[in-house]
Amino acid sequence: MTIAANTSIKLNIHAPKKDAVVGTVDPLTGADEVAIWAAANVNPNLTQSIVGTFRVLRRYALTNLDNLTAGAPTLLFVPFGGTEAQVQVTGSPTADDCLLEIGDNIVNKGQSHFLDRTYKRLEERWLEESK
């Protein structure tokens, strides 16, 4: 599937990259899953900018994982092209945001290693799907 508007990719923390699920709806992340999602108004042709925005969310999540509260799933979002200072963990994302969803088990157990490894697989899959 080619990256289009409102694309998400999710993956279980114990699964290989090839098992990632690509879709154009809310990924409905499970307890042991991580997902990245570029909302409807994010231009899918700006691949490097999208990945850069996802990296902002990754850094924030890894730095603050112990301070996050599991939220079935925990949702972090930032405006496309935003900075760590603009990351939000409460409220409602807009169609202009990039999102990182983290399953409850990952947050509750502080599994930063699994979060980081799975994020990297998701980023690689995003880049592959963007070709």
pLDDT in tens, 92-102: 999 999 999 99
* Mean pLDDT taken over the chain: 94
> Residue 73: inside a domain, yes or no?
yes
Contact 17, 53 (CB under 8 A): no
> Residue 114: inside a domain, yes or no?
yes
> Residue 96: inside a domain, yes or no?
yes
> Residue 2: inside a domain, yes or no?
no
Question: Three-state SS for 9?
Answer: strand
> Residue 3: inside a domain, yes or no?
no
Q: What average pLDDT does range 98-108 have in this prediction?
A: 96
> Residue 58: inside a domain, yes or no?
yes
Domain that holds residue 17: 8-129
> Residue 31: inside a domain, yes or no?
yes
| 101 closest CA partner among 123, 80, 71 | 71
Q: Give me the helix-helix angle, 47-64 and 112-129, nearest 10°.
A: 170
> Residue 101: inside a domain, yes or no?
yes
Total structural domains within the chain: 1
Q: Residue 23 has what pLDDT?
A: 93
Q: Is the pLDDT of residue 1 over 70?
A: no
Q: Is the pLDDT of residue 31 over 70?
A: yes
Question: Three-state SS for 35?
Answer: strand
